[in-house]
Amino acid sequence: MKNLIKIVLLIIVFFGGESFANCVSGVNILNDSSFEDENSLNSWNKVSGSANILRANYSTEWAGDAPTNSGSYFLYASGGNEVTVEQTVDVSACIGADNMEYDFSAFLGGYGDGDTIAVKLEFKDENNNTVISYNSGDFTSSKEMTLFTNSDLLSSDIKSATISLTFTKVTGTDIDGYVDAISLIIKESPPPNSSCTLGTNIINGNSFENVDSLNNWSKISGSANLVRGDYSTGWAGDEPSGAGKYFLYASNGDMVTVTQSVNISECMGSDIGYDFSTFLGGYGDGDTIAVKIEFKDKNSNIIESYNSGDFSSSKKMTLFTHSDSLSNNIETMTISLSFKRVNGSDIDGYIDVISLIIRKNTNGADTIKPIITLNGNDRVDLEIIIQIKVQQQRII
């Protein structure tokens, strides 16, 4: 009798939820998301609407050519005006470690008759509250599949991911919103730079595209807090190319300085230099942003430094760059961002896309070896030598 009860309980557990148990990091965790066989439709549960999901072959050319690695079939719907199907995956097995992130992608398309497809992704906590969401919006296309992508960091309270597909008809019999090759990958995000790699940006959290990027910056003075601003608000004007959706500003105080340090001793040696760049901006109310970089030796003496000065701007992001050589006794790089308020409640000094790359010197300007010892008037002799070099290059 006891055994019988156990068996019944196991069956309830097995069929009790619609989510799939095993999340493996680094691989697509969605089930049947390329629709290559008929049974793949069973992984998608109808939650609203009367239409049915169906597969079509790219060879019919409704959707144009098949995107790379998307197989032979895509998904559409028919037999009604609208349908939403979804699939939920238990992701708790993937969330254990710190710094997990996700990469979502899907191809969306259509026939050109105005019918639409929308893909929505929701990460939920144990109480089924949505913590992170993405929505492609209703998409319409003409015989072409378009790649949609979305990525973000995942917080440790997330338990499940739900993908829903909504097909909406405007014209004809079929609902010609198409979707294929849906992928959701959870993986460990790269650890913060604690050491240096030549030729790569060593600044952590440098474009503020996710909220956790603020954790890389430690407050060292002032009471204001870092906040991310969205370029779509127009405060900062148009986003510079490659700057993403968000920039950094501050609020709730008169000023704040935040900082981060990276040990760069692994990058040091002979003929080493750095390239720094960032965008600074503002709202036009006199508030300022300043960036300071200090390179220090093992005794914390400042060996090299750069300071943008307090910068104020009006709804425009301006590129600041600086390059210089570095002596090989340098051990750490410390970068600090200082926001100062003049007007209003927000500190409207803006910054985005901070890049600092340690690299081998590439041109003569940094690699000319001293050929004489400079003393007093010897400086004049060195100028003459440089002129001769330039003339020789022109002749060649």
> Binding residues for Ca ion, per CB under 5 A?
34-35, 70-71, 73, 113, 115, 171-172, 174, 176, 180, 207-208, 243-244, 246, 285, 287, 343-344, 346, 348, 352
| Joined tokens for residue 75 | 């998904």
Q: Are strands 272-283 and 346-360 parallel, antiparallel or unpaired?
A: antiparallel
Nearer to Ca ion, 186 or 243 (CB): 243
Least distance between Ca ion and beta carbon 233 (Å)? 13
Least distance between Ca ion and beta carbon 63 (Å)? 10
Closest to 216 in 3D by CA, of 254, 242, 248: 248
Nearer to Ca ion, 263 or 320 (CB): 320
Least distance between Ca ion and beta carbon 7 (Å)? 39
User: For residues 19 and 371, what is the distance between their CA atoms, to the nearest angstrom?
Assistant: 73
Closest to 306 in 3D by CA, of 319, 294, 296: 294
User: For residues 67 and 105, what is the distance between their CA atoms, to the nearest angstrom?
Assistant: 13
Least distance between Ca ion and beta carbon 46 (Å)? 19
| Joined tokens for residue 362 | 């590439």
Asked if 58 contacts 19 with a C-beta cutoff of 8 angstroms, the reply is no
Q: Which residue has the tokens 């019999």?
A: 173
Nearer to Ca ion, 95 or 106 (CB): 106
* Residue 3, phi then psi, degrees to nearest 5: -60, -40
Nearer to Ca ion, 85 or 326 (CB): 85
- Give 323's Cβ-side CA count (13 Å radius): 12
Closest to 70 in 3D by CA, of 34, 38, 111: 34
Nearer to Ca ion, 128 or 171 (CB): 171
Nearer to Ca ion, 29 or 158 (CB): 29
Least distance between Ca ion and beta carbon 110 (Å)? 8
Least distance between Ca ion and beta carbon 393 (Å)? 41
